[in-house]
Structure 1
Amino acid sequence: MERPLLNDPNLPPDTVVLKKTLGRSHAAYEALAAGASGAGLEMSWRYYNDGKAWLCKVTHKKKTVFWLSVWDGLFKIGFHFTEKTRTGVAELDIDANIKSTFARAQAVGKLVSLGLDVRKKSQVRDVLTLAEYKKSLK
């Protein structure tokens, strides 16, 4: 089974580590970090023993907005919505493929997950649009 990179608990993901691991996708990560900061989101990296990897939790005040994990040449974004809030995603100005994939997603428990693989800066706008929507939810 594939798993995220950044597996060394003694090697926190700083700029050098992220640049090396993400390669060409690092520019997209930098654009996301700048956009997240401008939107009042806080990015905090932590090593999680259960997954044996560093993950970035992106929050607004105390609410978790999305999770970020680093893979070979890309980063994955994970949003979690409820059945009640999933309908709003269809009305956002984001890529139609994201909407159709999410429309088919099955709920697990009370949550419906939306995962995005981000490789290019052009994809960051959709992530930030989804983050703004998630931030606005009660």
Structure 2
Amino acid sequence: MKPILKDQTEFPTIENLAKHLSVENLNLYQQLLEELHKHSFKEDWNYYKDGNNWLSKILFKKKNLGWLSIWKTGVKVTVYFGERVWPQLVANDLFHQLEANEASIHKTGKLTAVLLPLKNEESLRTAIKLINFKKNIK
């Protein structure tokens, strides 16, 4: 399954996202944005021609901390970790929360992607912790 925002002319506004998301998933998305903004993070939507899809970077200043994507099943947050940092995440209590929230892990070359579907308040809190973890690693 792939993200579903395929129309390059349809910027992902709340109104446009409402056409694709259930009321519950739209509410989770809006809560996620509120939490991101509280932490001084920004979302930056762009249309990527390589995947023919809208994706949003999650930025802190100019640092890309992760990605937002919209799927038939709802909103997903994806955060990438390099080989040096991955053991720190696995050793952290946060890793068990990721597993409990049905995060999927995909290794691609030297990077490992953690895809976390937003299903409820708990997965939302876990997503914010994951983004903060990425922001704070050295």
TM-score range, shorter chain: 0.7 to 0.9
Give, in whole Å, the separation in 1 of the partners of 2:106 and 2:75.
23
Please report how far the alpha carbon of residue 101 of structure 1 lies from its aligned counterpart in structure 2 after TM superposition: 6.4
Q: 1:95 aligns with which of 77, 94, 97?
A: 97
Q: Where does residue 110 of structure 1 map in the other structure?
A: 110
Give, in whole Å, the separation in 2 of the partners of 1:106 and 1:72.
20
Q: Where does residue 128 of structure 1 map in the other structure?
A: 128
Please report how far the alpha carbon of residue 6 of structure 1 lies from its aligned counterpart in structure 2 after TM superposition: 1.3
**3-state DSSP of counterpart to 1:57:** strand
Which amino acid letter does the alignment assign opposite residue 63 of structure 1? Answer: K
Q: Where does residue 12 of structure 2 map in the other structure?
A: 13
Q: Where does residue 45 of structure 1 map in the other structure?
A: 45
Q: Aligned Cα RMSD in Å?
A: 2.2
Give, in whole Å, the separation in 2 of the partners of 1:98 and 1:116.
10
In structure 1, runs of 5+ residues without a counterpart are none
Q: Where does residue 76 of structure 1 map in the other structure?
A: 76
In structure 2, runs of 5+ residues without a counterpart are none
Pair 3,100 (structure 1): closer, same or farther in 2 beyond 3 Å = closer
Contact 1:27 1:121 (8 Å CA) reproduced = no
User: What's the % identity of the aligned pairs?
Assistant: 27
TM-score by length of 1: 0.86
Please report how far the alpha carbon of residue 89 of structure 1 lies from its aligned counterpart in structure 2 after TM superposition: 2.0
TM-score by length of 2: 0.86
Give, in whole Å, the separation in 2 of the partners of 1:73 and 1:61.
30
CA deviation string 1:32-56 (max 9, x = no partner) = 1000001111101111111111101
**3-state DSSP of counterpart to 2:68:** strand
Write 1 or 2 for the structure with the bigger share of helix. 1
Give, in whole Å, the separation in 1 of the partners of 2:85 and 2:66.
15
Please report how far the alpha carbon of residue 130 of structure 1 lies from its aligned counterpart in structure 2 after TM superposition: 0.6
Contact 1:44 1:56 (8 Å CA) reproduced = yes
* Bigger relative CO (Cα 8 Å, ≥ 6 apart): 1
Please report how far the alpha carbon of residue 96 of structure 1 lies from its aligned counterpart in structure 2 after TM superposition: 5.6
**3-state DSSP of counterpart to 1:77:** strand
Pair 10,106 (structure 1): closer, same or farther in 2 beyond 3 Å = closer
Give, in whole Å, the separation in 1 of the partners of 2:125 and 2:106.
25
